[in-house]
Structure 1
C-alpha cells in the first residue's frame, strides 16, 4: 500500500486527469483529510472544483518549459507544503529547497525558488501569491516576501479596516446572489482567489464570489488562516445562497450543471435573523456594505427587473400603474383608430 502511495504522488503534475487515488493522497497531505478512494464522490463535499484549480495552477507554473519553478511532481508540492505549514520564514524555506536543487543550479535560482513557493502557497490557501511570468490575471494578489506564510496571511486579512458605517445597512432576505442579477443587474464572476471574495468589478457590474465551500469546510481549523475568517466566509455564502430558498436552489443547480461550481456553496448553513446583522461580519464587513449599497441604489432598467424588484414597493406600484395607464391609452387609441377607419370605409361604401 505504501509503495502504491509513493507511486501516485511521484507522478508528474503535467499528467491530466489526476487519478482518484492521487487526489485522495493530495487531500490527505494538503488538507489533512482522509478520504477513501471508494467514497471520494460520496457526501456533500465536492473536491473536483479544487482539483480543476490545482491542474490549472500547475499548468500555469510549468509554462515556458517549467523554467520558473522547481516543482515537477505532486510529491514536490507536498514536501514544500510541509515547510510552509511549519511556520518557517520565506527565506528559511528557500534555503531548504535551494539545497535540494540539482547541480548545476539554474542561473535564475532565486526566481525558481520564489515561483515554487508561490505555487504551493496558492494550492494550500487558494489565494493569489506572486505574479505570472507571461501575463496579467487581474486578480488581487497577496504579498509574501518575508516572515512565515501564516503571519503574512494573518496580517493581510486582520488589517482589513472597518471604515464604513453600518447604521443604515440591513441584510434582508431579498439580498441574495440570485437577486443581485435579476434585480440590480450585477453579474456573478466565480473566483478561485479567496482574496477577491465579494470584490466588485467592471464598474460595479460584477461581483466576485469565492464558491469553494468544500475547501472552506475542510479548513475551518486550519492555523494558516486567521481565526474566524473561514467560518465567516462560509456565512457570506449562506447569506448569498440561502439553502432554504427553493427558487435559489433551482437557480443555483442550473448554474452548477453548466459550470464547475462547488455545489457545497448551496449548503453552508442557515442564517437566523440575528445572524444577518452587518456587525457580525468583520473580515468581509466593508465589501458587504459596498455590495449592499450598490444593490440598494441600482434602479431597475428593464421590465424584468421592475417585475422582480420588491425593494421600493411604492415606487414599484407607481411604475406598474403608469405602465397600465400607458397600455390602456395605447389600447383605446388603437380601438378609436379602428373605429374611425371603419366609419370612413362605411362612408365610401354605404351598400356593403
Structure 2
C-alpha cells in the first residue's frame, strides 16, 4: 500500500465534516442525514438530505454495499482497522482524492492499511486491498504504487486485444436473453472491476455491475478515465433496455431477493449507432467475448428452443418436427386404443 496513516490520530487528516458522520461504523442503520454527508464527501456532490428520499436516484443499493464492506473491515473485533467512524473514512478518502501523502505510523501499520483499503473500496467500488481478516469471495486487486487515480486509469486503460468491428450488438443481446436463450447466468456484482467478466470455466456465468446510481454520481470524478463512466452506463443500457417492459419486469422480480439498483434499467436509450462495437473502448474485449459465447450457444432445453429466435428457419424446422412428433404419438395412441377396443368387443361374449 502506497503510504499509510492513522485516520483516527493524525491531525493532518482532520476535515471540516459535520459531527454527525462521527457515528460509529458499526452503528446501523445509517440515517438519511449521515448518508447524505457520506455521498457528498465521497462523490464530491452537494445534495441535500431531502434529495436522498425525493430525488430521482436511489442510493440504497450503494449503502447496502457500504455496510457490507464496513462489516468485512470490522471483522474480528475491529482489531485490524484504525477507523471507527464514517468521519474517519471521509478523511482518508479526501487525502486519497487529493493525492496528498499519507504519513506512516509504524505501530499501527496494519490497522492503517485496513482503513485505507476500506476507504478505497467505498470510494471507487473496486475490490482493492487485502482485507485479510474478512472474506468476500472475490479476487483481490492490489494498489501498491503511484496514486489511486493513476492505478485506476492504468487498470481500465489496459491495451485492447480485439479489434473486430464486425461484431453486432443486436437488440436481442440483453441480460434477460443471456439466460433465456444461451443459459448464461447473470451474477450481479458490486465490484466494478468484474463487470462483464465470465466467472466460470464453462462460460455459463457472467458478472454484471448493477449500481448505476454510483456511476451517475461519478461523472465528475477525475479518478476514472475520461469517458469510462458514460461507457459503463451504455453497457447497462445495452443489457437492460428501458424500452423493454419484459426486462424491467424480470429485473424487478430479481430485486425482491437481491438489493439491486433499479436505476440500471433506467439508463438512456441507445441509438443504432451507439450499439456498434467500435463505440465501446474500455469494455470492448469483454463485450466481444460475451457476444461470441452468446452467438455460439446452442439451445439445450425446450424453453431455450422456444425463446431462441436468432435463426428463424432453424426455429420453425425444430418446432414443426416437434409438432409432427406429437401428432404421430397422439394418432398412434388413438390407434392403439381403438385397436384394443375392437379386440375387446370382438372377444366379448
Q: What TM-score results when the alignment is normalised by the length of structure 1? A: 0.91
Please state how far the C-alpha of 1:201 moved relative to its aligned partner: 1.3
**Residues 16-61 of structure 1, C-alpha deviation per residue, up to 9 Å, x if partnerless?**
0011111011111111222322331223211011111111111111
The offset of 1:309, in angstroms, is 0.5
Task: Determine the C-alpha separation between the residues in 2 that align with 1:35 and 1:178.
Answer: 34
Q: Distance in 2 between matches of 1:22 and 1:10?
A: 9
**Given the superposition, is the C-alpha separation of residues 113 and 94 from structure 1 closer, same or farther in structure 2, using an over 3 Å criterion?**
farther
How many equivalent pairs are there? 332
| Residue in 1 that maps onto 2:96 | 84
2:257 is the alignment partner of 1:258:
yes
Instruction: Answer yes or no: is the 8 Å Cα contact 1:127–1:141 preserved in 2.
Output: no
Aligned equivalent of 1:101: none
SS of the aligned residue for 2:186 comes to strand
Residue 228 (structure 1) aligned with residue 214 (structure 2): no
Match of 2:345 in 1: 346
Partner of 1:191: 189
- 1:179 paired with 2:177, answer yes
Alignment correspondent of 2:301: 302
Q: What's the counterpart of residue 267 of structure 2?
A: 268
Indicate whether 1:93 and 2:92 are aligned. Answer: no
CA, structure 1 residues 310+242, in 2 after alignment: closer, same or farther (shift >3 Å)? same
1:1-40 alignment runs, 5 A limit: 6-40=18-52
The worse-fitting range, judged by mean Cα deviation, of 161-170 and 18-27 is: 161-170
SS of residue paired to 1:287: helix
For 2:186 and 2:242, how far apart are their aligned partners in 1?
18
Gaps of 5+ in 1: 99-104
Superposed displacement of residue 145, structure 1 = 0.7
Normalising by structure 2, report the TM-score.
0.91
User: Quick one: distance in 1 between partners of 2:115 and 2:313?
Assistant: 58
Q: Distance in 2 between matches of 1:332 and 1:143?
A: 67
Q: How does 1:194-213 map to 2 (within 5 A)?
A: 194-203=192-201, 204-213=203-212
Query: Which structure 1 residue ranges, 4+ long, deviate > 6 Å from structure 2?
Result: none
Contact 1:94-1:114 within 8 A present in 2 as well: no
Q: Within 5 Å, which residues of 2 pair with 1:272-287?
A: 272-287=271-286
1:165, CA displacement in angstroms?
A: 4.1
**What SS does structure 1 have at the residue aligned with 2:187?**
strand
**Cα displacement string for residues 101-138 of structure 1 (whole angstroms, at most 9, x for unaligned residues):** xxxx74xx322222111110000000011122235534
After superposition, the CA RMSD in angstroms is: 1.5
Q: Which position in structure 2 is the counterpart of 1:41?
A: 53
Supply the distance in 2 between the matched residues of 1:285 and 1:269 (Cα, whole angstroms): 19
1:154-208 CA-partner distances (Å, limit 9, x unpaired):
111111x321242441100000011011111111111000000001112211111
- Partner Cα distance (1:137, 1:57) in 2: 9
